[in-house]
């Protein structure tokens, strides 16, 4: 069973493990270089705004730095929050990243969900779907047309002439993050790849949407992502990662609760209060263990959902030497099991 492996970097700098900011970014660059040297498929930059731990707000800037330090590995965003950005600016910056990388860039995008982030940019959160749809249209025009005007519900732009054009033509693949509803439909209508979020039911919705729109669900790449840690010994893996993964999980739970309140939804269950409770609640979606356990978890995942790749989050605040050691272990023990 073939499966491609990538790493997701948020460049978070929690206070309990705080480092100088230049060190945070220097270590990320070293880790992306190590990922390339060890044979991983891809590295991805993740985005949030006004986060207390400095969660990376500038994915395309970070991607350009990675592009300049690597030569073969695929570089992508998972995910750039498109409604918070001017689409012409995104198209220009993404084109430059693609040029610097020699055509190795994937633009992964989503509508976002954390309520306070939209206020940071003066964006009405209710307009997310139309901002997303029009943004994608404008980006693709920027990459393929010499000059154009565009007038839509949210954007009106004139005399747009983006140079340089991307190396990849008609442009870098646009992968869309989605879990349900109109977002899944957008993947089927506009996506070159699917950043898959959620349970098997989300994949079933994706299959239905693709077939409804005359597309084969297997015709575009499907990658998921997860909280993750691997060590030689299962207990060692848990002890190394438990506080870091709990920190990450707690923040995502808080943001998810804020989004649910803004949307008028009620979340099922209460957030975990301890790392052990998180582990129990996370069940099969929290991948922590020794290489054999990790292989078993991914084999079970592939039997459940036919993903093409998986993107592993680097736990916030994890020591640099431990991240490098995990990469080496995975390259030696896990990647060969899922090679083509």
Per-residue model confidence as pLDDT tens for the chain (340 residues)? 799 999 999 999 999 999 999 999 999 999 999 999 999 999 999 999 999 999 999 999 999 999 999 999 999 999 999 999 999 999 999 999 999 999 999 999 999 999 999 999 999 999 999 999 999 999 999 999 999 999 999 999 999 999 999 999 999 999 999 998 999 999 999 999 999 988 888 999 999 999 999 999 999 999 999 989 999 999 999 999 999 999 999 999 899 999 999 999 888 778 899 999 999 988 777 999 999 999 999 999 999 999 999 999 999 999 999 999 999 999 999 999 999 7
Token pair 């055509």 is found at 103
From the list 178, 208, 213, 184, the residue with the least C-alpha distance to 196 is 178
> In what helix (H) or strand (E) does residue 78 lie, and over which residues does it extend?
none
The answer to whether the beta carbons of residues 223 and 195 sit under 8 Å apart is yes
From the list 145, 82, 86, 80, the residue with the least C-alpha distance to 106 is 80
The answer to whether the beta carbons of residues 56 and 45 sit under 8 Å apart is yes
- Identify the sign of the CA torsion 67, 100, 41, 142: positive
- Identify the sign of the CA torsion 136, 251, 312, 196: negative
DSSP β-ladder status, 4-9 and 80-81: unpaired
Long-range contacts formed by 249-254: CB under 8 A, 24+ apart: 249/278, 249/282, 250/278, 251/51, 251/53
Residue 174 — φ and ψ, nearest 5°?
-105, 110
List the chain domain ranges: 4-338
CATH topology of domain 4-338: TIM Barrel (3.20.20)
**pTM for this prediction:** 0.97
> In what helix (H) or strand (E) does residue 22 lie, and over which residues does it extend?
helix 21-37
């Amino acid at each position: 069973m073939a499966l491609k492996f990538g790493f997701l970097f948020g460049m978070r700098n929690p206070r309990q493990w705080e480092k100088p900011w230049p060190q945070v970014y220097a270590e990320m660059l070293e880790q992306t270089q190590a990922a390339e040297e060890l044979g991983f498929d891809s590295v991805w930059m993740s985005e949030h705004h006004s986060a207390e731990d400095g969660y990376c707000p500038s994915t395309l800037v970070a991607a350009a730095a990675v592009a300049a330090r690597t030569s073969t590995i695929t570089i992508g965003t998972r995910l750039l929050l498109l409604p918070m950005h001017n689409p012409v600016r995104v198209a220009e910056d993404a084109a430059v990243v693609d040029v610097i990388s020699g055509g190795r860039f994937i633009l992964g995008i989503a509508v976002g969900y954390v309520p306070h982030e939209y206020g940071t940019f003066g964006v009405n959160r209710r307009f997310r779907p139309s901002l997303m749809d029009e943004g994608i249209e404008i980006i693709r025009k920027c990459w393929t047309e010499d000059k154009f005007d565009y007038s839509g519900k949210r954007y009106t732009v004139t005399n747009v002439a983006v140079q340089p054009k991307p190396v990849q033509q008609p442009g870098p693949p646009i992968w869309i993050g989605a879990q349900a509803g109109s977002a899944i439909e957008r993947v089927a209508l506009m996506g070159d790849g699917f950043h898959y979020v959620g349970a098997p039911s989300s994949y079933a919705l994706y299959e239905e949407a693709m077939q409804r729109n005359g597309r084969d669900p297997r015709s575009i790449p499907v990658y998921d992502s997860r909280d993750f840690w691997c060590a030689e010994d299962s207990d060692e893996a848990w002890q190394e990662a438990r506080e870091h993964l709990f920190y990450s999980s707690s923040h995502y739970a808080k943001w998810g609760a804020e989004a649910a309140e803004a949307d008028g939804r009620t979340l099922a269950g209460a957030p975990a209060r301890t790392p052990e409770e998180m582990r129990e609640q996370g069940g099969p979606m929290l991948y922590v263990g020794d290489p054999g356990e990790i292989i078993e978890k991914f084999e079970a995942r592939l039997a459940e959902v036919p993903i093409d790749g998986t993107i592993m989050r680097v736990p916030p605040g994890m020591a640099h030497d431990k991240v490098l050691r995990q990469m080496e272990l995975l390259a030696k023990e896990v990647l060969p099991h899922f090679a083509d």
